[in-house]
Amino acid sequence: MDWEFCPREPGSHEGQPRSLPLTGGNVQEGQAFWGAAGGLEKDDLKTQIDKLWREVNALKEMQALQTVCLRGTKAHKKCYLISEGTKHFHEANEDCIAKGGTLAIPRNSDETNTLRDYGKKSMPRVSEFWLGVNDMVNEGKFVDVNGMALQYFNWDRAQPNGGKRENCVFFSSQGKWVDEVCRTAKRYICEFLIP
């Protein structure tokens, strides 16, 4: 909107916009009308902007997910991505969360086999990867990184055996689960749900 400013006249304020004549009503009625109309338009615009931001964020998430799926492997409505380095359990989990996922949590033997095969193929010399499983809150009660109880386990023989000292879980190159000290640095696999 371009504003025209009044030339300096006696009794006027320099730089003030010219006043618009109101016809049919008083100043309060005019302000009430324009205030209400402007508010509706502003609400509509805000709603549209919020909707556009949600769409942009959804597109960013999809693009990031596609990038992950291209670099990793895809199976069971999930993408998996192996880490480039080693981290302690908590750092590994934080890294996966920062990327939009979690540490991998196999929910059945098919997912375990997928993770095992992906690990062997991608990192043939690496035999241990952190999983998103631990018993930090309640000794002996293993849950996923979201605190949800697990219905599936694939423990190696004589596992879990670490007691209160070993609260985090990795899987071996055979796909078997082993409890371990959480501060041990290991490779890890992040899991991303495909919508």
Containing domain of residue 60, as a range? 23-71
Q: Within this chain, do residues 121 and 178 fall inside the same structural domain, yes or no?
A: yes
pLDDT for 39? 58
Q: Within this chain, do residues 89 and 172 fall inside the same structural domain, yes or no?
A: yes
Q: Within this chain, do residues 78 and 173 fall inside the same structural domain, yes or no?
A: yes
- Domain at 117, CATH number: 3.10.100.10
Q: Determine if the peptide bond prior to 21 is cis (ω within 30°).
A: no
pLDDT for 38? 55
pLDDT for 193? 86
Q: How many domains does the chain have?
A: 2
> Do the Cβ atoms of 48 and 40 come closer than 8 Å?
no
Q: Is 188 helix (H, G, I), strand (E, B) or coil?
A: strand
Q: Determine if the peptide bond prior to 160 is cis (ω within 30°).
A: yes
Q: What angle do CA 156, 118, 187 make, to 5 degrees?
A: 70
Is residue 14 one of the residues assigned to a domain? no
Q: Within this chain, do residues 98 and 175 fall inside the same structural domain, yes or no?
A: yes
Please give the DSSP secondary-structure letter assigned to residue 124: T
Which of 71, 106, 133 represents a domain boundary (last residue)? 71
Per-residue pLDDT of the chain (195 residues; tens, 9 = 90+): 444 444 444 554 454 444 444 444 445 554 554 455 555 687 888 888 888 888 877 776 666 666 667 788 888 889 999 999 999 999 999 999 998 899 999 999 999 999 999 999 999 889 999 999 999 999 999 999 999 999 999 999 999 997 888 999 999 999 999 999 999 999 999 999 887
Q: Within this chain, do residues 98 and 126 fall inside the same structural domain, yes or no?
A: yes
Q: Within this chain, do residues 51 and 101 fall inside the same structural domain, yes or no?
A: no
Q: Within this chain, do residues 96 and 135 fall inside the same structural domain, yes or no?
A: yes
Give the whole-angstrom CA distance, residue 38 versus residue 87: 54
Q: Within this chain, do residues 30 and 44 fall inside the same structural domain, yes or no?
A: yes
pLDDT for 28? 52
Q: Which structure tokens are listed for 47?
A: 């709603």
